Amino acid sequence: MVDNYEFVTGHKKGYLAFMYNNCTNKWIIKSFHLSENMNDQMLQAIKKFDIMKKLNLEE
């Protein structure tokens, strides 16, 4: 069994997947990386209108 999640931290979208190992009865991290799913409408709108810069929130 695998559970996966997408999350946002700061300005980055990540992907995390856990896998259950029946032999050890433990969950292990299967995958942890930047998300390849960049279909994020809110982020695109923010970038388009440059809201972060206007509010002085850029890193």
Q: Residue 4 in 3-state DSSP? A: strand
pLDDT digits (tens, 9 = 90+) for 19-36: 999 999 999 999 999 888
Q: What is the pLDDT of residues 1-13, one digit of tens each?
A: 889 998 888 778 8
Q: What is the predicted pLDDT for the residue at 38?
A: 66
Q: What is the pLDDT of residues 36-58, one digit of tens each?
A: 876 666 766 777 777 667 777 76
Say how far apart CA 11 and CA 59 lie, in whole Å: 9
What percent of the chain shows pLDDT beyond 90?
34
What is the spatial distance between Cα 31 and Cα 19, in angstroms, rounded to a whole number? 9
* pTM for the whole structure: 0.56
